[in-house]
Structure 1
């Protein structure tokens, strides 16, 4: 009899840009030494990755994000890097382009986020966690052209 499916944790994040094509990045509240991230988080039980991105937008930023199925940007399988951890699946969606009026309405969830900012492509690549920065390939707004990636850590377990 085959073993049961391992049940990979799933995360979902969103690429939010402004009119200058800068990327909205967020800083975790718990430790300002940690790399910056994209808005998003864990997909909860009985929730789709798309619903998770919308929920996280409301919770973390106080914004109702108009993100649709065709906005899927990338999907990545990430091999666990430490014993006892599970491999996981990460969904990344291309989100909305925000205006100044939109950004004026951002209200951070202070328990999770310490700050947000706009970063150009080079700044974002240097400030984001390396695994997250690696997912952002090509133009930031490319509906209907999702990328699939695998991140392996051979010999690190």
Structure 2
């Protein structure tokens, strides 16, 4: 199971991060550890990846992810997106990235993020923003 965060700035753009270990960008978050709740996992990842101590609140998206055909042995899983709110300019300026894990970060609109994220994550983030606006979580399968 993986869990990530929708973090926005005061312009409504959302935060994505560029990992050092893969070709496409991600959202803040990661694998939920054994015995850890998904919300706790997101909170831990925000602290480890960004140096942020912000509240993680509502569940926005549950996305069932099928196995990848090009990665034998990788099982299906659940990917969750939680709301981590809107950062103030001071909070955004205080983001600290671990150099061994993340190259950079940026704020994006859906259109700006789409070519950087995997297609399923781009769809998931569009759904997360809609769920935040509607005040109700979305259930997806493979990002749709």
TM-score (norm. length: structure 1): 0.82
CA contact (8 A) 2:110 2:122 kept: no
- Does residue 72 (structure 1) correspond to residue 38 (structure 2)? The answer is no
Residue 138 of structure 2 corresponds to which residue in structure 1?
147
| Deviation of 1:80 (Å) | 0.2
Secondary structure, aligned partner of 1:127 = coil
Match of 2:50 among 48, 58, 61: 61
| 1:144 CA drift (Å) | 4.0
Unaligned 5+ runs, structure 1: 1-9, 153-157
In the other structure, the counterpart of 1:4 is: none
User: C-alpha root-mean-square deviation of aligned residues, in Å?
Assistant: 1.7
Closer/same/farther in 2, CA of residues 108 and 140 from structure 1, 3 Å limit? farther
Residues 1-48 of structure 1 show CA distances to partners (whole Å, capped at 9, x for unaligned) of: xxxxxxxxx0000010001001111001135xx111100000001101
Q: Deviations over 1:35-78 (max 9, x none)?
A: 1110000000110100000000000000012112xx11100111
The alignment covers a number of residue pairs equal to 139
Helix, strand or coil at the partner of 2:15: strand
Secondary structure, aligned partner of 2:34: coil
Q: For residue 18 of structure 1, what is the aligned residue in structure 2? A: 9
More deviation in 104-113 or 139-148?
139-148
TM-score by length of 2: 0.89
Question: Which structure: greater helix fraction?
Answer: 2
Which sections of structure 2, spanning at least 5 residues, go unmatched?
none
